[in-house]
Amino acid sequence: MAALCGGARKTRATLLGLLAIVLWSTLAGLIRSLSEQFGPTGGAAMIYTVSAVFLLALAARPRVAGFRLKYMLTAGLLFASYEICSSLSLGYAASREQSIEVGMINYLWPSLTVLLAMMMNGAKGGAGVYTGLLLALTGIVWLMCGDGGWTPRHMLDNVLSNPLSYGLALGGALIWAVYCNVTRRFAGGQHGVTLFFILTALLLWVKYLFSNEPGLVFSGASVVALLVTGAVMGIAYASWNIGIINGNMTLLAACSYFTPVLSSLFAATLLHIHLTGRFWQGVALVCCGSLLCWLTTRERPVAAQAPRAER
């Protein structure tokens, strides 16, 4: 009987982890939509405020005294920096199409995490890791070309058209790779995600107060969208934590690497955008590259394993 209960608990936890992956896939489109209504910084500040409230309601209140100071300071600042870069890169995108492009740059983080873990451990990367990273980078370049031909000049012009948005997206991917490795080393089995969300919201409100964005204007539809987005983000993080602690981590890790496909699909549907065949080819390359890096680390446990990241 105990074995059956344990199996049922593991199944429920795994399903919650899979739910988190689906919910995360909707966030790029939802964040971009709210950024158009409230502004990049104001919209992000409200989203993380609502999400923090949902996390406080869904998860047990964290005991600050139980956390390691090194973990709280380092991981907290990295987490907040990543979330700010990620959300603002979507908000500052010049168009909805560009917001999906910069959103895809975020998914370089799995490959970068593995590469950084190997560097931190002094391990030599296998051919699979470098091939996976190259595939992921190729995918990003490929999807940014649209249906036209690719040239270095075309790529440079595309990035220079909005260097802030693309720079924030790439910076976010790098920061999240560092965060994953820092968390793995210093967390000691703990996580301060709820506190990190509160910190992120506070920093965004400070930025908003010193920005030139117009005042926030609310409507019935925008309030509903804000509550939905905040709930989606909060529930996703709470569900993922249950999944990785009590569920099938191997299955969840494998499925998480296909998030770019779902994210692009949801964003295109929500924002009413037609994505080209070349774009989907690029998405496939990003997924394959990330998955290859993960498979390689499973075979080389001394080097680095796929991180138990929250996103």
In the chain, what percentage of residues exceed pLDDT 70?
83
**pLDDT for position 142:** 83
pLDDT digits (tens, 9 = 90+) for 119-153: 776 666 677 778 888 888 888 888 777 655 556 66
The dihedral formed by the CA atoms of 12, 14, 16 and 17, expressed in degrees to the nearest 10? 170
Is residue 20, in this structure, part of any structural domain at all?
yes
What average pLDDT is seen over the chain?
82
Q: Which is higher by pLDDT, 157 or 307?
A: 157
Is 190:71 a contact under the CB 8 Å cutoff? yes
Is residue 7, in this structure, part of any structural domain at all?
no
Reported confidence tier of residue 239, pLDDT bands at 50, 70, 90? confident
**pLDDT for position 90:** 93
pLDDT surpasses 80 at 232: yes
Is residue 144, in this structure, part of any structural domain at all?
yes
Reported confidence tier of residue 44, pLDDT bands at 50, 70, 90? very high
Provide Rg for the chain, Cα atoms.
19
Domain count, the chain: 1
Is 180:309 a contact under the CB 8 Å cutoff? yes
Is 271:91 a contact under the CB 8 Å cutoff? no
**pLDDT for position 159:** 81
**pLDDT for position 10:** 83
**pLDDT for position 67:** 66
Reported confidence tier of residue 156, pLDDT bands at 50, 70, 90? confident
Tell me the mean pLDDT in the region 157-181: 89
pLDDT surpasses 50 at 188: yes
Q: Which is higher by pLDDT, 254 or 62?
A: 254
pTM for the full predicted model: 0.85
pLDDT surpasses 80 at 155: no
* 55-62 own/partner pairs: CB under 8 Å, 24+ apart: 55/193, 55/194, 55/197, 55/234, 55/237, 55/238, 56/194, 57/234, 58/234, 58/235, 58/238, 59/193, 59/194, 59/238, 59/241, 61/194, 62/192, 62/194, 62/195
State which residues form the domain around 246.
13-299
pLDDT surpasses 90 at 61: no
Residue (of 62, 91, 235, 283) closest to 172 by Cα position: 91
CA distance linking residue 223 with residue 273, whole number of Å = 24
- The mean-pLDDT minimum among 52-56, 125-129, 187-191 falls in 187-191
Number of DSSP helices (H) and strands (E) in the chain, helices first:
13, 0
Residue (of 260, 198, 268, 221) closest to 51 by Cα position: 198
pLDDT surpasses 50 at 304: no
Is residue 304, in this structure, part of any structural domain at all?
no
Q: Which are the contacts of 88, defined by CB distance < 8 A and separation ≥ 6?
A: 40, 41, 44, 168
pLDDT surpasses 60 at 85: yes
pLDDT surpasses 80 at 301: no
- The mean-pLDDT minimum among 64-68, 136-140, 168-172 falls in 64-68
Is residue 3, in this structure, part of any structural domain at all?
no
Is residue 106, in this structure, part of any structural domain at all?
yes
Alpha carbon 60 to chain centroid distance?
23
Is residue 145, in this structure, part of any structural domain at all?
yes
Reported confidence tier of residue 65, pLDDT bands at 50, 70, 90? low
Is residue 1, in this structure, part of any structural domain at all?
no
CA distance linking residue 276 with residue 284, whole number of Å = 13
pLDDT surpasses 80 at 101: yes
